[in-house]
Chain A
Amino acid sequence: MNEVVLDPTAQLNSAARSLLPRLSALEGATIGLLDINKPRGDVLLDRIEALFVERGANIKRYSKPTMTRVAPVAVLQQIATECDAVVEALAD
């Protein structure tokens, strides 16, 4: 059985972890596109980039060294400090 703890809050929110707040607009926002280094990920991200740019967003591109491992901490920190949101590409 999974570990159970008791909720220390006034329980005004869901017991599940809540999502981060969504962006209210794309205009002027900086969106990171993370290529996980799978074949044709670039094709997908190129198209997504074009769609974001049409809507006024700024784009920064990142990639993982290999799709087989989680992104290095340095890449995660760079995305977190530079971007308002990130899209991670799965491809093949």
Chain B
Amino acid sequence: MAAVDDHYVMVLKRECPTCTLIEPVVTELEEAGFSLQIWTQDDPGFPRSASQVGDDRSLEQSYRLAIETVPTLIRFRDETEVDRTVGWDRSDWLRLLELESLAGELPAFRPGCGSKSVDPGMPEKLALKFGDVTFQSRQVEIAEQEDVVEACYDRGWSDGLPLVPPTELRVMKMLAGSKRDPADIIGTVPPDLQPCTVEKAAINAVMAGCKPEYLPVVIAALEAALTDTFCMHGLLATTWFSGPMIIVNGPIAGAIGMNAGGNALGQGNRANATIGRALQLIIRNVGGGKPGGVDRSTLGNPGKYSFCFAEDEENSCWESLSVERGFAPDASTVTLFAADGVQGVVDQKSRDPESLCRSFALSLAVVGHAKLCMMSDVFLVVSPEHERVFRNANWSKAQVKACLAELMQRPGSELMPGVGGIAEGMPEFVKDMTLSKFKPDGLNIVRAGGTAGLFSAIIGGWLASGDFGSSPVTREVLA
């Protein structure tokens, strides 16, 4: 079959100098009797030399033809593409058209320009408009008179702060952050015990303000939250302060720009702020867990908006939390803890580890209540200046933990109801025992924070710890 019997498609844009350069080629091909369809991305009046031009300002044809560069010339035989060339390379065009000569006055080669269909943000828009993207979730149409942010509030989706409206485009971009099938079910979310698909997680991550690259962290955090060990239902329902806290370890933390340094437990970092929020929004929206409903917290704590930070592994003299918990140093993980708020510990004078441990132990003793033991677990977030005291003395994390455990032994007799004129206390049967403040493995240590300040943070937890309630859970973050 001769070249002239085949059909050719040419995609151009007027603002591309190479496209304007090859205008004479169009005339020459038409005169030679080629079957030629021209699509122009920006100006249906271009090229003027053509007898007819297809208007592709919608970029539908460019999307369907997978155009990345203009000009592109595609050769079809029986409606099937057999070859294409991009830019202007005369020898390649001659080969494709099976001609001996073409537009002799033109230079032999000029590179093309980027197709408008691959402008930043455009591939996703075109995929949504012309591709086969579908969602399982119901579409909620916002009336013209409504403000979309207010409409999200009105439907009860918000934790109190504004939400990013979960448009189909934003959700599609979010889903691109994970390799998982949008229809995959991550787990069953309490209290309504509703299945949460990757798509539902993505919708809530959009609303929380996450970037697509945070989605795998959100999914891992949700997986951890939905384990029996973490006991999310009870944690939600308790009258106690606590909510899920997320500690991120491994390369993902740096890759997504998480804060493990100054103000790590505070505001101002997008990943820290939105990953924890996304988890809470999933509990709220998919699980139906809301304050005043199944969330019965007496006071709550500000961390229930979002409580997520990274461990500063790079500058730490200790193995990371995730390595302690059995993961490889290069694994990315999330560890969830049923956490209360932050209690500061100041010690600006201790320069030896024993003294600093005594400060820590004294401060840790008041978690929950100074007369109650073996209730919540705890996280001690050691700042760089405090860690330096242990580093200088070559103390491992295990040594610190062992020293604290020893310092936090209490005779049962001191903890009895009535002692100190305080009715609260431990049950009578422990009177002659020696009690540890925390359960074995109940004390966890991570390093985070800014380089100035001889302060560390105690993060107490839900009184119902261990098998009775919630234990920390670590999950690997997978793409």
Contacts and interface: CB of A to CB of B under 8 A. Distances in A.
| Central interface residue in A2, A9, A10, A15, by most chain B CB within 10 Å | A9
B137 A11 contact: yes
A69 B246 CA distance: 49
A15 B194 contact: no
Name the prevailing secondary structure of the B interface residues. Answer: mixed
Interface in B330-366: none
B137 A7 contact: yes
A9 B152 contact: no
Interface string A39-56: 000000000000000000
Interface residues on A, range: 10 to 19
A8 B168 contact: no
A5 B192 contact: no
Nearest to B203: A8
B142 A3 contact: yes
Interface string B154-170: 11010000000111100
Interface residues of B, number: 34
Contacts of A10: 189, 192, 194-195, 200, 285-288
B286 A9 contact: yes
A6 B135 contact: yes
Interface of A is mostly: loop
A2 B141 contact: yes
Nearest to B145: A2
B207 interface: yes
A14 to B, nearest CB: 10
A78 to B, nearest CB: 22
A7 B202 CA distance: 11
Contacts of B204: 8
A8 B281 contact: yes
A4 B142 contact: yes
Interface string B190-208: 0010110001100110010
B148 A3 contact: yes
A12 B135 CA distance: 17
Interface of B: 135, 137-144, 148, 151-152, 154-155, 157, 165-168, 171, 189, 192, 194-195, 199-200, 203-204, 207, 281, 285-288
